[in-house]
Structure 1
Amino acid sequence: MTVILYSHDSARRHVTPDGHPEQVARHDAVMAALEGLALDRREAPVAEDAEVLRCHPVRYLQGLRDAMPQTGTRQIDADTHLSPGSLEPALRAVGGACAAVDAVLAEEARRAFVALRPPGHHAEAEVSMGFCLFGTVAIAAKRALDHHGLERVAVLDFDVHHGNGTQALLWDEARVLFVSSQQFPLWPGTGAASERGAHGQVVNLPLPPGSDGALALSEWRGALDRMREFSPQLVLISAGFDAHRDDPLAQLEWDDDDYAALTRAILDAAGKAPVVSCLEGGYDLRALGRSVRAHVDVLMEAD
């Protein structure tokens, strides 16, 4: 099956301090893992301000522009940094996600993968955090709803850290089913099963430290049954690969095959709905490359 890949070399110009886990080499590892695959490769466009403003106020966007350093790096929260080249790839991540939504809804392909950094699922309306500047997947969901007129969008997040930003940005959105698995407890401290959204449309799957992919898949199967009942017209994935046993930032024990199995289960539950997957975390470079490849290989499988 044809899968559209959105990427851009500007991802290499978002520079973080030496030793920072969200590093330029992540982009290189992902692109190397996808080399040679028969993907429909497209340049991720820069998002127009109007797209960002679907989830963030003008003052936040302008504040980021004003904070961009001329040289070196600038720390804007405990673990998020800006460099002179940071804004473009963050805007291209949003632009790529929105372009992917447009493409799959226009039936140019049924699946797409957006391979940009920095990630996005921790960014709240006026707070950049956890390496994230913009709520990329939440913005893409809003575009699907408000530009394309969809009535039901599912957002699925399997990053090891809870997508607190996505949850907050979509908390009041009855048209979105948000499902997230995460190690719990773990930074950012959100993601308890009791967090259910303003309309009961949030499903959190907290996973204990040391647990493996088999437990996660069991939890996800129940949530995917809920998604089948919801019958989404589009499925968006926040694809974080830091639940891998080799990842340095958490204590889950997934392996490459677990990502393939979960991706396959998501596609089965999605049915005929198109699927757009966006890169989030993953900080062991070898594990990241292998896991992304396993994920995209499954996206390329025929129904």
Structure 2
Amino acid sequence: MTTALITHADCLRHETPEGHAEQVARLEHVLAALEPLDLLRVRAPLAADDDILRLHPKSYLDELREKLPEEGAEPRLLQLDEDTWMSPGSLNAAYRGVGAALRAVDMVLAGEVGNAFCATRPPGHHAEAEKPMGFCLFGTAALAAQYALDHHRLARVAIVDFDVHHGNGSQELLSGEPRALVITSQQVPLWPGTGAADETGGHNNVLNLPLPPGSGSAEMRAVWGGAATERLRAFRPDLIVISAGFDAHANDPLAQLEWEDEDYSWLSAHLCALADELCGGRIVSTLEGGYDLNTLARLARRHVEELIKAAT
């Protein structure tokens, strides 16, 4: 078995203003770091509207299409909120991101690959049902989980999210889905201001693991090796979807956690071992945050190297 890398050049056509943290160079750096690795490279398809409509209403898709800037028109960039922008290529990029995650689910569940990493942008774990936010247009990881439940008729799917910012979108989109478990660690306090331990979802299906600013390896390993592991073992998912954010690292400019390179290797290997124990190693991982370009590239490679080891 091998690891699939699913991406598409359209994801480089989502443009943001100069100096914006979520920039084209993020994906360029990640792809360059993964280039030497032995991966099955797969072109991400476009998601269908029906794939998006599992969790987002048609009115939201219509609104995004109406607002999408046209090629050659001015202004070329449209600001949706304080952080989130669209350019003429943004909607296609977001559809490729969802398409990549769904293709990954198909391939992993069919046994074509052991696991998969989706190198796409914009990220996806902040978008709520009718609200783009935090650089995100669609709830990519949540859509992948819902697709696995509905289309593939899995009994249980878990999302694990180690981005430094709380995956409020994944929590909101899946809070009412008893077949889904959402586990997230995040710095608290920090934008978006959610992710407290007492936010437990509509079916006690959310586990938030808030971490204080300045905390590092010991605190991270304690929560992921402790409460998160216990909940995953109790839930026994048929598939694990990872929201892989790399912005809890000490070098990242947008937060104040102190994780180191080795922590990402440890956490990735730990999640792979749990997947092997609980669901035949079935993991779909999708890129979220990480805003120091060199650190992002280095950590994404470490993460994918652990996926490769687990799939071999």
Distance of 1:294 and 1:213 partners within structure 2: 16
- 1:52-109 CA-to-partner distances (Å, cap 9, x unmatched) read 0001000101110111112410001111000011111100000000010011000101
Distance of 1:197 and 1:126 partners within structure 2: 19
State the 1:267 CA deviation: 1.2
**Amino acid of the residue matched to residue 11 of structure 1?**
C
SS of corresponding position for 1:113: strand
SS of corresponding position for 1:127: coil
Residue 126 of structure 2 corresponds to which residue in structure 1?
A: 122
Residue 60 of structure 1 corresponds to which residue in structure 2?
A: 60
Contact 1:214 1:258 in 2 (8 A): no
Distance of 1:269 and 1:43 partners within structure 2: 28
Distance of 1:302 and 1:235 partners within structure 2: 14
Q: 1:256 aligns with which of 249, 253, 261?
A: 261
Residue 274 of structure 1 corresponds to which residue in structure 2?
A: 282
Distance of 2:53 and 2:273 partners within structure 1: 33
**Amino acid of the residue matched to residue 81 of structure 1?**
W
Residue 27 of structure 2 corresponds to which residue in structure 1?
A: 27
1:241 aligns with 2:241: no
SS of corresponding position for 2:309: coil
Q: TM-score, normalised by structure 1?
A: 0.98
**Amino acid of the residue matched to residue 33 of structure 1?**
A
Q: State how many pairs are aligned.
A: 303
Could you tell which deviates more after superposition, 22-31 or 65-74? 65-74
Q: Which runs of 4+ in 1 moved over 4 A?
A: none
SS of corresponding position for 1:246: coil
State the 1:236 CA deviation: 0.2
Alignment of 1:143-182 (within 5 A): 143-182=147-186
Distance of 2:98 and 2:8 partners within structure 1: 12
Alignment of 1:37-76 (within 5 A): 37-70=37-70, 71=73, 72-76=76-80
Contact 1:121 1:137 in 2 (8 A): yes
**Amino acid of the residue matched to residue 134 of structure 1?**
F
**Amino acid of the residue matched to residue 243 of structure 1?**
A
Q: What is the percent sequence identity of the aligned residues? A: 58
Distance of 2:96 and 2:175 partners within structure 1: 25
Contact 1:14 1:84 in 2 (8 A): yes
1:295 aligns with 2:303: yes
State the 1:20 CA deviation: 0.2
Residue 8 of structure 1 corresponds to which residue in structure 2?
A: 8
Contact 1:80 1:132 in 2 (8 A): yes
Question: What is the aligned-residue RMSD (CA, Å)?
Answer: 0.9
Distance of 1:293 and 1:93 partners within structure 2: 19
**Amino acid of the residue matched to residue 200 of structure 1?**
N
**Amino acid of the residue matched to residue 285 of structure 2?**
S
Q: 1:286 aligns with which of 287, 294, 299?
A: 294
Distance of 1:157 and 1:164 partners within structure 2: 10
- 1:219-239 CA-to-partner distances (Å, cap 9, x unmatched) read 011211210121110000000
Residue 229 of structure 2 corresponds to which residue in structure 1?
A: 224
Residue 109 of structure 2 corresponds to which residue in structure 1?
A: 105
SS of corresponding position for 1:59: helix
SS of corresponding position for 1:300: helix
State the 1:201 CA deviation: 1.2
Q: TM-score, normalised by structure 2?
A: 0.96
Contact 1:244 1:256 in 2 (8 A): yes
**Amino acid of the residue matched to residue 294 of structure 1?**
R
Structure 2, unmatched stretches of 5+, are none
Contact 2:117 2:304 in 1 (8 A): yes
Distance of 1:275 and 1:137 partners within structure 2: 12
Distance of 1:182 and 1:200 partners within structure 2: 19
1:188 aligns with 2:192: yes
Distance of 1:210 and 1:302 partners within structure 2: 31
- 1:20-40 CA-to-partner distances (Å, cap 9, x unmatched) read 000000010000110111100
